Structure 1
Amino acid sequence: MATLSPITANLTWADAAPDTNFWSTLAQGLLPPYVNTCRWFAGKARQQTGFAVRTVHTISLPDGDVAYLLILEAAYADGVPENYLLPISFITDHAANSLPFRLADIPDKGRIGEATLGEQPGVLIDAIYDERFRRTLFTAIYQNQTVPQPNGQLTFHRGKGLDEGDDALPSQVLPVDSSNSAMTFGDKYFMKLYRKLFRETNPEVDMVAFLTDESNFANIPAFGGSIVWKRDDTPDVTLGMVQRMVPNDKDSWAQTGDYLNDFLYAVPQRLFAIREDVFDRVELLGKRTGEMHCALYKPNADAAFAPESFTTEYREFLIKRFEDLLDRRYALLIDNYTKLDIQAQRLAWVFMEAKEMIDTFIADFRTRPFDSLRIRIHGDYHLGQVLAVSQGMNNDFVIIDFEGEPESSITERKIKHSPLKDVAGMIRSYHYAVSAKLFNSAETEGLDPDHLQRVSDRWFYLIRDTFLNAYMDTFGTPHPLFKDSSEVNFLLLIYLLEKAVYELGYEISYRPSWVKIPLKGIIDVIRDIEKIRLSDGNTIPDVPMLQTGLLQTRSV
């Protein structure tokens, strides 16, 4: 805890809520240095112009004491202010020995600073470290409480994931630092408090609640409840969520890496070996992914989840986002071309030469009729978002983290897409898994890069097709989400291209040696675009075909 001067006020802690002068003093004194040490505060690198406590919610604790939920505004020299959730308790020296926890056990990152309030000295702490506060939140969710506040009300909603008789479980704060705060209850439930707040409900809470309460999809951590700040004339704000805890071995990225080890060790021996259980796992993940999307397809759901068609507005949104992304990636690629290895340079050249073909493909997307539908989806789907579980679920998968694309706004994360966008994310994740393993391992060092590319392609295409076939088999034919295989193929290419082009920017900026991975993904999509052009019979003479000859390094 930083050595700052304690604050002093004549009021008691229980009377502090309406005293704006007290909160202003706190926001100008103790809070700025404290908040800037917190992992969840995202504004450390920005030029700050001050903090202000905009709203104070009162939480009555079981022993008659109170805690407060502060809505803290951080203002900056440039850009809009941000709002953060800060729960706060005051532990007096007098009361410290009678608490159900030890003050000495509160880590420095939970200590805001010293204060003397109403002649009572003590310490202000982040209330997540106050066992009374944790118990109060959980009980309020368990009992479906609504707590009126001067500015709206706090609504505690209980979901189907909470079992009867679990209203008094012991709790603890998880010691991990992240953008939110995590607490566990009885090693059975997981509570997340969202620190950075948005003027809308959190998409993760919406999705998990819908899948738990409105469907029978069991392969997520079940929704236990939520904490929402409701006001009459403004959108609801999500403050927290409870889910069932899931004992897991590892995420599917790590598990896929384990499976790839056997494959990797065989490559230098010019052997191609994939264990049969790898295909079983990939098929199962394809099936679970399809079941998730089936659960999200509810024709009679409310507007937030009802299926929608491919409207002109949606197409223009997607096209504008993709074209802006594409322009930035072309510029980035040109600026960094000489820094790439030979293999990446060849791929980059083919990509740049295919610009007109990509433009034509996007123009086709703008006008091509689609009868397939769009729904709410996971939105950031990859192997790292899937847990491999073996306790009680017989070697199954659990899908986690429904917050959506981290760099998108909350509104954009709630836009409905074809579920093939999630499929594209998983396909790209498998491509990364095999490429990263083969091109960055000591076992393959010194092997011909073109040979490695061919071997990784063979593994990837087998795994991709296994996943995709199992996924589509889950829906049956026909299904309203997908009109036919022609539309499935076209839409999948749209999302695969967008995903790979997005990945390209990250790799150029942070891992130049990995640039070949998204570039190869882009070239694969362009090859399939060319097949569509030929099968449609609408080749345009002025648009050149794919220059695959540029990929050749030697005569064959």
Structure 2
Amino acid sequence: MRIDTAEVTRVLPEWLGRQRWYAGKSRSGSVAARLLATLAPPTENAQPTLTGDREDQQAAGVQIWIADVTYPDGVEHYQVPLALRTQRVEHLDRAFVGSVTDLDSGQSVELYDALYDKEVTGVWLRAMAEESVLDGVTFVRDAAASEIPVSESSLVLSGEQSNTSLVFGDAAIMKVFRRLEPGLNPDIEIHAAFAEIGGRHVAKLLGHVTTERDDELWSLAMLQEFLTTATDGWQLATASVRDLMAEGDLHADEAGGDFAAEANRLGMSTAEVHADLRTAFGTTVLDSAQLRERAAAMNTRLDAALHEVPQLADVAEGLRKAYDDFAEISEPVTAQRVHGDLHLGQVLRTSHRWVILDFEGEPAKAITERQANDSPIRDVAGMLRSFDYAARHQLIDMGATPQSEFRAAEWAQRNRDAFCNGWAEAGGNEPAASAVLLRAFEADKAVYEAVYEARNRPNWLPIPLASLHRLAETA
């Protein structure tokens, strides 16, 4: 079975436009498909099965294709693993990509997103366990072969926006990077470094997948332990807010679902992760010129945001003052590797500890930018923004009143303080002593949020706007 590159190029654009992780929905670009690797060769007369037998799992061909999307200002690359079938498979309709023609037989070949095809996803885990190299794709095992759950079936997690994650039984989770660029993905890099130093607040790295093209390394996927009994921080925090709102006139510290103790422990865990990052990667210093450069970038982002969110005009002067104060810091600022996109949805509470996930950073940024050292205060600011969202997002649906606004603000401040106190207690610099940094980083993040909400959830726009008014006034 052979399929033509032009045929795959024909069916990909429409399918890409429906994927949450595809960042080109609002841009006009041309799509070209190219075959990266064949992981399991297509076989003639491959039929869908549900037996779970190893040979049946490889009955469909499994290939990794790359969609190169060209814009006037550059090219983006997306990973598209495909399962090749000779017949339509009803239970895979949601993963259907398109029909192409077999160049040898002239028969139709049905293409599916292979990550949703449970009968073929075992290819990735078996290759990791065996440390295989398949058609130029290298499968690296970072743990004992017995820890790779090769016999488990997979399930794609819903809700992921930038990549696609599959859970194998209750043992492992594989994240497949969708948007690709050269370089070792920071998520793999940092988890591998933590494995060497014994980092306690991360999930264990079990394996990863890379390829090399044109003398450059590209990261394709990573496999980690799956923490089955853990609950993510966003769920815990928002449940606390719901409890508070249902408790009549109680203050945040009086409600049964008070989250402050957990916020404090989360702050401590974050500080310990920052310490591990310093141990693994060292530190540098941001001098005055670099601080001015970063402040200029913040102002540039504000300028662009003003075109999309006119309401920012009311706070622009105060925000620019915050950025000016940032630029005028005279003392060198210690910089290190950081998480880069820390929020309540990136942390899990197990029965023993908080675990921090997804050290990939902001996927829209280049890998080199995500690998650059920064102040750990940026991560603190990201988490503080998340507490504001947890406190206020329910007011959008339930309708805000002066009382509910007050109680949401009280909950947010209590948990922001608890997180900062925990971070300081565990060795982080007291954020109050870095108030200029914290205010600028938080304002920069909230400006980004305002643009995002204006584009995607206009009814949520009051959440970042309320914070920006506060930040502008304190500047």
TM-score of the aligned structures, taking structure 1 as reference length: 0.71
Q: Distance in 2 between matches of 1:29 and 1:458?
A: 54
Aligned letter for 1:494? A
The aligned residue for residue 254 of structure 1 is: 235
Q: How does 1:408-487 map to 2 (within 5 A)?
A: 408-437=365-394, 441=398, 445=401, 449=402, 455-475=407-427, 482=429
Quote how far apart the aligned CAs of 1:232 are: 5.7
Q: How does 1:342-421 map to 2 (within 5 A)?
A: 349=314, 351-352=315-316, 354=318, 357-358=321-322, 360-365=324-329, 368-370=330-332, 372-389=333-350, 393-394=351-352, 396-421=353-378
The DSSP-based 3-state class of the residue aligned with 2:273 is: helix
Quote how far apart the aligned CAs of 1:210 are: 2.7
CA displacement 1:482-507 (0-9 Å, x = unmatched): 5x877533332332232233334445
1:109 to 95, 100, 118: 95
Q: Is the 8 A contact 1:110 1:129 kept in 2?
A: no
Aligned letter for 2:178? R
- Asked whether 1:119 is paired with 2:65, we answer no
Of 167-176 and 318-327, more deviation after overlay is shown by: 167-176
The aligned residue for residue 292 of structure 1 is: 273
1:221 to 203, 208, 212: 203
Distance 1:214 1:457, change over 3 A: same
Distance 1:413 1:130, change over 3 A: same
Q: Distance in 2 between matches of 1:237 and 1:85?
A: 11
The DSSP-based 3-state class of the residue aligned with 2:296 is: helix
The aligned residue for residue 44 of structure 2 is: none
Q: Distance in 2 between matches of 1:208 and 1:230?
A: 21
CA displacement 1:63-82 (0-9 Å, x = unmatched): 69764322232335x34232
Give the gaps of 5 or more residues in structure 2: 42-53
Q: Distance in 1 between matches of 2:13 and 2:323?
A: 49
Give the gaps of 5 or more residues in structure 1: 1-12, 17-21, 94-101, 338-347, 476-480, 530-556
The aligned residue for residue 193 of structure 2 is: 210
The aligned residue for residue 244 of structure 1 is: 225
The aligned residue for residue 83 of structure 1 is: 77
1:137 to 113, 124, 132: 124
Distance 1:330 1:42, change over 3 A: closer
Aligned letter for 2:64? L
CA displacement 1:262-282 (0-9 Å, x = unmatched): 332445578973448523211
Q: Distance in 2 between matches of 1:515 and 1:105?
A: 39
The DSSP-based 3-state class of the residue aligned with 1:401 is: coil
Q: How does 1:170-209 map to 2 (within 5 A)?
A: 170-174=152-156, 176=158, 178=160, 179-209=162-192
The aligned residue for residue 499 of structure 1 is: 445
Quote how far apart the aligned CAs of 1:404 are: 1.6
CA displacement 1:503-524 (0-9 Å, x = unmatched): 3444556666655543443454
Q: Is the 8 A contact 1:382 1:425 kept in 2?
A: yes
Distance 1:292 1:112, change over 3 A: same
CA displacement 1:338-361 (0-9 Å, x = unmatched): xxxxxxxxxx75x35536743541
Q: Distance in 1 between matches of 2:187 and 2:259?
A: 30
The DSSP-based 3-state class of the residue aligned with 2:259 is: helix
Q: Distance in 2 between matches of 1:517 and 1:250?
A: 25
Quote how far apart the aligned CAs of 1:228 are: 0.5
Aligned residues: 458
- Asked whether 1:51 is paired with 2:46, we answer no
Q: How does 1:8-19 map to 2 (within 5 A)?
A: 13=1, 16=2
Q: Distance in 2 between matches of 1:486 and 1:269?
A: 28
CA RMSD of aligned residues (A): 3.6
- Asked whether 1:489 is paired with 2:435, we answer yes
Distance 1:56 1:518, change over 3 A: closer
Of 323-332 and 427-436, more deviation after overlay is shown by: 323-332
Aligned letter for 1:205? I
Q: Distance in 2 between matches of 1:383 and 1:494?
A: 20
Q: Distance in 2 between matches of 1:332 and 1:25?
A: 38
Aligned letter for 1:225? G
The DSSP-based 3-state class of the residue aligned with 1:156 is: strand
Distance 1:180 1:45, change over 3 A: same
Of 318-327 and 513-522, more deviation after overlay is shown by: 513-522
Q: Distance in 2 between matches of 1:189 and 1:67?
A: 21
Q: Is the 8 A contact 2:137 2:211 kept in 1?
A: yes
The aligned residue for residue 548 of structure 1 is: none
The aligned residue for residue 49 of structure 2 is: none
Quote how far apart the aligned CAs of 1:242 are: 0.9
Q: Is the 8 A contact 1:336 1:508 kept in 2?
A: no
Quote how far apart the aligned CAs of 1:466 are: 1.6
The DSSP-based 3-state class of the residue aligned with 2:146 is: coil
The aligned residue for residue 74 of structure 1 is: 69
Distance 1:122 1:129, change over 3 A: farther
Quote how far apart the aligned CAs of 1:239 are: 0.9
Quote how far apart the aligned CAs of 1:237 are: 0.8
TM-score of the aligned structures, taking structure 2 as reference length: 0.81
Q: Distance in 2 between matches of 1:50 and 1:173?
A: 29
Q: Distance in 2 between matches of 1:124 and 1:404?
A: 35
